[in-house]
Amino acid sequence: MKRDLNRRTFLRSSATGISTAVGLPLLEAMFNSSSAFADAPGKYPRFFAMYVPNGIIEEKWFPRRNSKTDFNLAASSLKKFDEYGLKNDISLYRGMQNVCRSDGSNGNAHMIGISSWLTGVGIKKDSSQTHRPSLDQELADAMQAEYGRTKVHSLQLAGNSELDKPNNNNYFNPQKNALNWGSNNRLLPLKSALKNEFDKLYAGGGSTPGAGVDRRFETKISVLDDIKEDRQAMLKQLGASDRARLDQYFESLRDLEESLNAQIDIGDNTQECAQPAGVNNIPNPTNGARNNRFGDHARIAAKITAQAFACGLTHAVTYCTQGEAAGCHYEDIGINTHFHNSISHNRGGRLNDWVKIDTFHADLCAEFMYQMKNTPHGAGTLLDGTGILFGSGLGNGTNHSHDDLALMVGGHFGNWKHGNYHTFNGNRSHGDLVDTLRAEMGLPDLGKNKVPIQ
């Protein structure tokens, strides 16, 4: 007998009913026809943005281009996208200026560059306490207005613990995030402790917030074991294809939780960055230990994002690798010196190391997109109905230029046509690209000129 399911169905703990609440991916049993199942992504897409600080080595990041559709990624920092067969899932944009230039922003180049990256509008000065909402928050707000509140409004994840600091009365801080701006026009903090963000997604309800998570932690029971009875009962009532999809989903969820537990056992993988002059360093929120396996942390963040997207637990996630001007090292790729001071301020002397960092960031983004493309969702994959923005708010970090930004759009949403490499002569603002993203995601645009997407 086929069981009809509501798309907001959660599997819950059999012990208390509040310890765990696991959302479900799209299943055929949630729809009354195969066509409805195929059209499942709905009005608004999901959105993921990955921001990298301090600019890029543009002549290595961008590939060789013979024409708009004929370009070779093999020798560029983006080569992994080609190796994973993602060339026709991305669009590249070269020669665009950060909108902070045309909008007359004033202040520290790092701060005004990152502040405008997701808003598409320049901030007036780096001491400003308010700005316009960023694209991720606009999308999350629109989803909530259209479909009701998701379990988590949005996730703002960070690759180092310095970005966990709350906003204060002094806007400028070389270690701070200035990427995400809420509907109240105020800056939002990022979170690097991934286990906490995981628990937000999979904690149950109840009158005492966090009580269920605490019980699960104290008894050392996994999320899947906590919902074992409910899970087994559901599997018995579903068709073969839905059972196979749920088995794959549960296996991915168990792998994610094991990765998080391993991270906790060895000490949290978030980085504690070296401090620039005049800025007090903040200890790692878990145990104060320095641990520089940034790649492991980013990959777990990607798994959390994919799982949350698959179940509709949230529709907007950003990942900021580190703060603009922060002093993180990349020891997992053999770089044990301050990225900002030692490398991005020394383009001539440390160019090879900088290219290595650029390639590392691109590899992580490509791995995430590959994972999304190979995760079934409705009649397609998670990459269908997901928009991705990847890049930096600075161009040449040594001279703090806002020209020739590294910008890539990926995923399939709206009328975006991929496999294209658009080039401009410095006469187009990246705000045009952000505005195009708004329009193609079904959001009101700001009336700026549109970057060609065909």
Q: pLDDT tens-digit profile of 220-234?
A: 788 888 889 999 988
Spell out where 28-176 has E strands: 46-51, 64-65, 71-72, 90-97, 155-158
Alpha carbon 447 to its chain's center: 26
205 vs 298 pLDDT, higher one:
298
207 vs 82 pLDDT, higher one:
82
Q: What is the mean pLDDT of residues 34-46?
A: 72
- Six-digit token string for 332: 């997992």
Most confident of 119-123, 197-201, 234-238: 119-123
Most confident of 146-160, 273-287, 385-399: 385-399
Report residue 322's pLDDT band, with 50, 70 and 90 as the boundaries.
confident
Report residue 191's pLDDT band, with 50, 70 and 90 as the boundaries.
confident
CB 165 within 8 A of CB 189: yes
CB atoms within 10 A of CB 348: 6
Taking every pair of Cα atoms in the chain, the longest distance, rounded to a whole number of angstroms, is 68
Report residue 19's pLDDT band, with 50, 70 and 90 as the boundaries.
confident
Q: What is the mean pLDDT of residues 181-207?
A: 85
- Domains of the chain with bracketed CATH: 41-193+268-440 (3.40.720.10)
Q: What is the mean pLDDT of residues 429-441?
A: 94
330 vs 272 pLDDT, higher one:
330
- Six-digit token string for 153: 């409004």
Q: Which amino acid is at 202?
A: Y
CB 319 within 8 A of CB 301: yes
Assess whether pLDDT exceeds 90 at residue 298: yes
Q: Which amino acid is at 342?
A: S
- pLDDT, residue 329, reads 83
Report residue 290's pLDDT band, with 50, 70 and 90 as the boundaries.
very low
CB 20 within 8 A of CB 250: no
Q: What is the mean pLDDT of residues 30-52?
A: 80
Report residue 279's pLDDT band, with 50, 70 and 90 as the boundaries.
very low
Least confident of 9-23, 229-243, 382-396: 9-23
What average pLDDT does the structure give for the chain?
84
Rounded Cα distance between 49 and 317, Å, is 7
pTM of the model: 0.91
Three-state DSSP at 284 gives coil
CB atoms within 10 A of CB 164: 18
Least confident of 43-52, 223-232, 375-384, 443-452: 443-452
209 vs 57 pLDDT, higher one:
57
Least confident of 14-23, 92-101, 149-158: 14-23
Report residue 121's pLDDT band, with 50, 70 and 90 as the boundaries.
very high
